[in-house]
Structure 1
Amino acid sequence: MILSVSQRCDIPAYFSDWFYQRIKEGFADVRAPFNPQLVHRVNLSRENVDLIVFMSKNPLPMMAKLDQLNGYNCCFQITITPYTHDIEKNVADKRLIIEAVRTLSRRYGRHAVIVRYDPILLNQRYTIDYHMKAFQRLCEQLSSTIDTIIFSFVDEYKNTRAHQAELKLLPISESQMLLLARGMAQIAESYGIRLQTCGEKIDLQHLNIQKGSCISSKLLADYGIHSAYPLAKTRGDGCDCLAYTDLGAYNCCAHGCSYCYANYDEAKVKMNLHQHDPMSTMLIGHLKPEDKLVDKRQKVKQTVLF
């Protein structure tokens, strides 16, 4: 099983105590987001989990207890953008996050820590020139620490539409995408960093930018895992992620990013955060008598022999 922690919310930043308690007890219950009475019980044993992929804007709260993850393969995908609190209201100081990336890299290796520079959005403040300068600073600070940076362009979701007035988004044309990508590719290459897209329809391979995904066969191979997972069934256009199990929930992240696709109901975010119990088997709330509890089966996989 590939475990995503999480593409729905920032568990390392806000729910690390809950996560470590679930690791200790060896299972977690995950409510199906679009069938809320269905709850999957996920086996978190080391024997059942091939790889844990942490996705976070702030891994600092989980780092004091990393010893509890000994025996697991861990990948950390850390988002570092150039935006300030006008767009990312509650995200921690990026200087602290950069230092956290360095610490994780020293512990787990360069291959295990991937930085995400996404989403790229444009407005009167965050211009192409702004991104070029910010990206160069990022590469300069992390060139001895990481191998890969993943980027993508902002997509229109319910939340971005709701915050259009504050975001003041400008449309990104294909020519602007190419201009940004070409500049970023040159910068990344000069620092020995591999650049990769995520979930993008535009093909940038002629710029030496790999077309990739968050969770890929190549990522598994970096950990010596040579198994053929199917593609995720719920992936969107342009997404080639392998099948994974996500421990998170929507509408429960307190970062308050105006572009977020996973937080689209601010009232529900507050309610869900209030219902979080670090000792519960599930991230938000508790099991209910009417819930249908089923064991989450490990995705069928076939060992690759050649």
Structure 2
Amino acid sequence: MIIGASRRTDIPAYYFDWLLERLKEQFVLVRNPMNQRQVSRVSLKPELVDGIVFWSKNPEPVLKKLKQLDGYVYYFQFTLNAYDTDIEAALPSLQQRLDTFGRLAEAVGTERVLWRYDPILLNSRYDLAYHKEAFAHLAERLAGSTEKCIISFLDCYPKINKRLAASQIRPPSAAEQRELAGQFAVTAQKYALKLATCAESIELADLGISHASCVDAALLARLGSGRLTAAKDKNQRSECGCVESIDIGAYDTCLHGCSYCYANHSMPGIVKKHALFNVHAPLLCSSLQAEDKLTERKVYSLLAGQQELF
């Protein structure tokens, strides 16, 4: 199995010690986000974990603890935009994050750190010219620290529409997406970056831009897992190219305060849930209740030829 850590929250920034505890204990409990009373027990035995995919805007806390991931195959999706605190409220400075990116790439290798420039949103401040300049600046700074950049355009989920309206934020039109992508492709070529889109229906192959698989079985195989017989993740959107994985995060637990975030409802609710965090608890920012239904999730290695062993 592949572990997602996580689309739902920033585990490297806030909960990395918890993850290390779970790996040491070799299991984790995960609430079903669609039915909070359903809890799965997921084995994390090393022979079952084919890879770990990290999503983060600030993985600085992991830098001194990477040795504890020895024996696991993993890579990082590092989201690095050039928005100010009106959009991404509680992140370290851009310079600090650029420094973290470089240090992480130096520690684990450039193939293990993918740059995400997403979501791309527009308003009077963050217009097309802004994004073209910001992307070029970041690409120049990150040259030599990564091999691939994944871009995506803003999706307007119902839960975030009020936040977006407050800042007059909108997604780019199809024409604007193509204009930005064209300029990004020129910049990416200049700095020897592969460019791909995340869960986008727009076709940009003529610009040299492919569709990404953010949970990428082929990348994990190159990094050391061996060939994985992984199917497309049926729980993601049709445009998503990811293979199947198990996300061990929890919604409403990230404190970055990004106005576009689909994983959070409100900051008071996040603060309240974060207060429940216990680094030794098998559930993230939660505890098992009497009315919860706990079941053992059937998991197996995706390594070709190994499924029958576990």
State TM-score, norm by structure 2.
Answer: 0.93
Distance 2:199 2:71 in 1: 30
Q: Report the residue type matching 1:19 in the other structure.
A: L
Amino acid at match of 2:239: G
Which region of structure 1 is more displaced relative to structure 2, 78-87 or 266-275?
A: 266-275
Q: Deviations over 1:27-63 (max 9, x none)?
A: 1111111121211112222211111111000001222
- Three-state SS of the structure 2 residue aligned to 1:163 is helix
Please, which moves more after superposition, 160-169 or 194-203? 160-169
Output aligned runs, 1:1-306, within 5 Å. Answer: 1-224=1-224, 225-298=226-299, 301=302, 303=304
Q: What is the Cα deviation at residue 72 of structure 1?
A: 0.5
Q: 2:275 is paired with a residue of what secondary structure?
A: helix
Q: What is the RMSD computed on CA atoms of the aligned residues?
A: 1.6
Q: Distance in 2 between matches of 1:95 and 1:218?
A: 32
The one-letter code matched in structure 1 to 2:160 is T
Q: How many residues align?
A: 304
Distance 1:268-1:299 versus aligned 2 partners, 3 A rule: farther
Alpha-carbon offset, residue 206 of structure 1: 0.7
| Aligned 8 A contact 1:10 1:56 in 2 | yes
How far residue 160 of structure 1 moved from its aligned partner, in angstroms, is 2.9
- Evaluate the alpha carbon distance shift between residue 230 and residue 300 of structure 1 in structure 2; reply closer, same or farther with a 3 A threshold: farther
How far apart are the structure 2 equivalents of 1:99 and 1:296?
39
Unpaired runs of 5+ in structure 1? none
Measured in 2, the distance between the counterparts of 1:230 and 1:301 equals 9
**2:152 partner SS:** strand
* Larger CA deviation: 105-114 vs 211-220: 211-220
Contact 1:159–1:259 (Cα < 8 Å) also in 2: no
Higher alpha-carbon deviation: 75-84 or 285-294: 285-294
> Aligned partners of 1:237 and 1:168: how far apart in 2?
28
Question: Deviation at 1:300?
Answer: 7.2
TM-score in terms of structure 1 length: 0.95
Tell me the amino acid that sits aligned with residue 287 of structure 2. Answer: H
% identical equivalent positions: 38
